[in-house]
Amino acid sequence: MAAPFELTDDNVVVIIGTGAGGGVLANELAQKGVSVVALEAGGRYLPEDYVNDEWESFGQLAWTDTRTTSGDWRVARDFSNLPAWIVKAVGGTTTHWAGASLRFQPHEWKAFTTYGEVEGANLLDWPIDADEMDPFYARAEDKLGVTRTNGIPGLPGCNNYKVFEAGAKELGYKEVHTGRMAINSQERDGRMACQQTGFCFQGCKWGAKWSAAYTDIPAGEATGNLEVREKAHVARILHDDSGKVTGVEYFDANGDLQMQRARVVCVAGNSFESPRLLLNSASSMFPDGLANSSGMVGKNYMRHLTGSVYATFEQPVRMWRGTTMAGIVQDEARHDPSRGFVGGYELETLSLGLPFMAAFLDPGAWGREFTTALDSYENMAGMWIVGEDMPQESNRVTLSDVEDQFGLKVANVHYSDHPNDIAMRDHAYKQGAAIYDAVGATRTLPTPPYPSTHNLGTNRMSERPEDGVVNRNGRAHDVPNLYISDGSQFTTGAAENPTLTIVALAIRQAEHIASEMNQGAL
C-alpha cells in the first residue's frame, strides 16, 4: 500500500474517479513512477463482498445520488431520477459491466467523413484514427485478457447463446460467436476461469471477469506510487491566476471539506459527473465552467442506441444460467445506408434475472400481456441492441436547480432520439424478433431502453478548440494541466461497447502525461 501523500503535495497527479478510465490511468501512471492520488466517491467492494441478488447488489454498488432528466426519451418517463446505471465504488462501473470488449471499426473514427452531413446531428471526425489506436487496443486486450485475442479461446455458449446462434444462422448471419469478452476462459493473471454462474452484472464473485477494482487498482497501489482515497467526493477543481489547475476540493468520508493540491488533474467520473464537475468549477476567470470557452462542456451526450428483444419458447431456456452477455451477431455493425440509417449496431445476448425483468420488460405495464410474459420467464431468451446514436448539441448535461447531499448542483440530463436512432432501433427490433421467430418463438417482446449504461460524449475530443473540450490526448483545449480520461471524451460513439476504447485511450494518455512530465512540460 502506498504511504499517504500530503494534502499539500503539489507534485501529485490527481485522478477523479477510479473506473475504466481513471482506474487504468492510475495504475499505468503509477507503474511509470508517477505519484498519483485517486479520489473515488464510492467505497471499496471486492469479490467476497458482491451479492448475487439484483436489487441488493444495485443498492450496494450503483450511483443513486439524485439526478434530473428531460427530453422525449422513454428513460425520462420510466426512470426520471435514474437516467443512468453507473457504479459508485472503487473500480467504477467495471464492477457491473458484462465484459464485451470490441474495437471500433476503422471508419467509425471518421464518422463525419464517412456518413456525411446528417441533418440535426453534430457529427465530427475524431482527431485520431484506427492505425494510431491499434497498438493501444492491443495492450488493452492483453490487459483485460479479452477472449478471441492473443490466442485466448472463446467462452462456451450457454443456452441463451445456443438459441440466439441457431436463429441468427437460420437468418444467414455469418459473424456469430460467443464474443470478445474480458472474462477469463482459462486461468490468467492469477484469476480463475469463468464458472458460468451468471450474475456478472452484480460483480463477479470469482474474479474471472476483469474489473479495475481487483486488477489495476491493487497493482498500482503495490508500486507505492498510488494512493486511492475512497468515499472522497470531489466538489470542484481549483485554478490559479494563470488559468492552470492547482488542486481539488473534496468531501472526505466524514463529510469534511479537504483540499488536495495537484500538478495535473485528470477527470474520470463518467459522462454525467465529469461535465457536472467542470460546470460546478466555474470561476470569475471561467464563468461558464472550467474548460468551457467553446460552450461544448456537457453537449453531445450519447448513450448508444439501445433496446432489447426477449422471446418465449415452448421449452425452457433458463437464460440466467451462464454469462450474462454470452454472444454476439456483428453482421449489422457495418455502415450501410441502404437500410435507411447511417452507422450500425450489434446484437448481443442478454439475460436479466426475474426481479430486473419485472422492472424493465415494460415499465409501468400491468395486466395479462405483461404477467403472462413473466410467467414464461423460464422459457425466455433475450438479446440487447447496441448501436451508434447521433451526437446532438441539444442532448446535454447541464446543472439542475436541485442540490445533492453536499449542496452541489446535480446533473440534469436532456436526451431526445434523433430520427436516425429511431430508424436503426426499428430495424434492430425487426431483426432481433426474426432471429427468435426463425427458431420457433411463441412470442417476441421488444423492450424499451434501460437507464443508460454507456454514457459518452459531453467533453468531446476535437481537432479545433471551438468544436470540443479536449484535444487528441484528452487534454483540455483551455487548460494545459487538465485532462479528461473517461468515456466523456468520445467524439462519436461507434456501434461497439465502449470500455475497451476507454481503456486503450487511458493507456495512451498515461504515455503522454508521463512523457510531458519527464520533459518538464507539465
Ligand X SMILES: Cc1cc2nc3c(=O)[nH]c(=O)nc-3n(C[C@H](O)[C@H](O)[C@H](O)COP(=O)(O)OP(=O)(O)OC[C@H]3O[C@@H](n4cnc5c(N)ncnc54)[C@H](O)[C@@H]3O)c2cc1C
C-beta closer to ligand X: residue 118 or 510: 510
Determine the Cα angle at 138 with ends 135 and 140, to 5°: 110
Q: Which three cell numbers stand for residue 56?
A: 441488493
Q: Is-contact 128 109, C-beta < 8 A?
A: yes
Is 424 among the residues that bind ligand X (CB under 6 A)?
Answer: no
> How far apart are CB 94 and ligand SF4 at their closest, in Å?
12
> How far apart are CB 369 and ligand X at their closest, in Å?
26
- Helices assigned H by DSSP within 297-384: 354-360, 368-375
Beta bridge partners of 443: 312
Name the binder of 397 from ligand SF4, ligand X, none, CB < 5-8 A by kind.
Answer: none
Q: Contact letters (x/-) for ligand X, 458-487, by CB under 6 A?
A: ----------------------------xx
Report the distance separating Cα 375 and Cα 382, nearest Å. Answer: 15
Q: Which three cell numbers stand for residue 329?
A: 451477431
| DSSP string covering 104-134 | PPGGGGGHHHHH---TT------SS-HHHHH
**What region does 289 belong to: left with phi over 0, alpha with psi -120 to 50, or beta?**
left
Q: Which three cell numbers stand for residue 341?
A: 440509417
C-beta closer to ligand SF4: residue 78 or 141: 141
Q: How many CB atoms are closer than 10 A to CB 371?
A: 12
Q: Which three cell numbers stand for residue 398?
A: 447541464
Is 399 among the residues that bind ligand SF4 (CB under 6 A)?
Answer: no
C-beta closer to ligand SF4: residue 193 or 438: 193
Q: How many CB atoms are closer than 10 A to CB 253?
A: 11
Strands (DSSP E) contained in 335-473 are 345-349, 380-387, 396-403, 409-414, 443-447
Is 380 among the residues that bind ligand SF4 (CB under 6 A)?
Answer: no
> How far apart are CB 47 and ligand SF4 at their closest, in Å?
9
Of 34-42, 65-73, 217-225, 295-303, the segment contacting ligand X by CB under 6 A is: 34-42
Q: Closest-CB residue for ligand X?
A: 19
Q: Contact letters (x/-) for ligand SF4, 190-219, by CB under 6 A?
A: ----xxxxxxx---x-x-xx----------
Beta bridge partners of 114: none
Q: Is-contact 396 299, C-beta < 8 A?
A: yes
Name the binder of 27 from ligand X, ligand SF4, none, CB < 5-8 A by kind.
Answer: none
How many secondary structure helices (H) and strands (E) does the chain include?
Answer: 12, 17
Q: Which three cell numbers stand for residue 373?
A: 410474459
Q: Is-contact 124 391, C-beta < 8 A?
A: yes
- Looking only at residues 38 through 67 of this chain, which bind ligand X when binding is defined by CB under 6 A? 39-42, 63
Is 323 among the residues that bind ligand SF4 (CB under 6 A)?
Answer: yes
Task: Mention every residue, 6+ apart, whose C-beta is less than 8 A from residue 448.
Answer: 74, 78, 307, 362, 363
> How far apart are CB 407 and ligand X at their closest, in Å?
14
Q: Select the residue interacting with ligand X from 67, 83, 96, 444 (CB under 6 A).
A: 96
C-beta closer to ligand SF4: residue 183 or 410: 183
Name the binder of 15 from ligand SF4, ligand X, none, CB < 5-8 A by kind.
Answer: none
- 236 three-state secondary structure: strand
Q: Select the residue interacting with ligand X from 12, 57, 61, 92 (CB under 6 A).
A: 92
Q: Contact letters (x/-) for ligand X, 204-233, by CB under 6 A?
A: -----------------------------x
Is 326 among the residues that bind ligand SF4 (CB under 6 A)?
Answer: no
Q: What is the DSSP letter of 4?
A: P
> How far apart are CB 96 and ligand SF4 at their closest, in Å?
11
Count of chain residues binding ligand SF4 (CB under 6 A): 13
Name the binder of 114 from ligand SF4, ligand X, none, CB < 5-8 A by kind.
Answer: none
C-beta closer to ligand X: residue 121 or 234: 234
In order of 202, 258, 337, the CA distances from 44 in angstroms are: 14, 20, 46
C-beta closer to ligand X: residue 23 or 441: 23
Name the binder of 88 from ligand SF4, ligand X, none, CB < 5-8 A by kind.
Answer: ligand X
Is 158 among the residues that bind ligand SF4 (CB under 6 A)?
Answer: no
- 183 three-state secondary structure: strand
Beta bridge partners of 157: none
Name the binder of 200 from ligand X, ligand SF4, none, CB < 5-8 A by kind.
Answer: ligand SF4
- 514 three-state secondary structure: helix
Report the distance separating Cα 332 and Cα 291, nearest Å. Answer: 37
Q: Select the residue interacting with ligand SF4 from 12, 183, 495, 514 (CB under 6 A).
A: 183
What dihedral do alpha carbons 29, 31, 36, 41 form, nearest 10°? Answer: 90
Name the residue with cell 485520431. 128
> How far apart are CB 492 and ligand X at their closest, in Å?
15
- Looking only at residues 280 through 319 of this chain, which bind ligand X when binding is defined by CB under 6 A? none
> How far apart are CB 202 and ligand SF4 at their closest, in Å?
8
Residue numbers of the site for ligand SF4 (CB under 6 A)?
Answer: 183, 194-200, 204, 206, 208-209, 323
Residue numbers of the site for ligand X (CB under 6 A)?
Answer: 16-22, 39-42, 63, 85-89, 92-94, 96-100, 201, 233-234, 268-270, 273, 277, 325, 453-454, 486-487, 497-499, 502
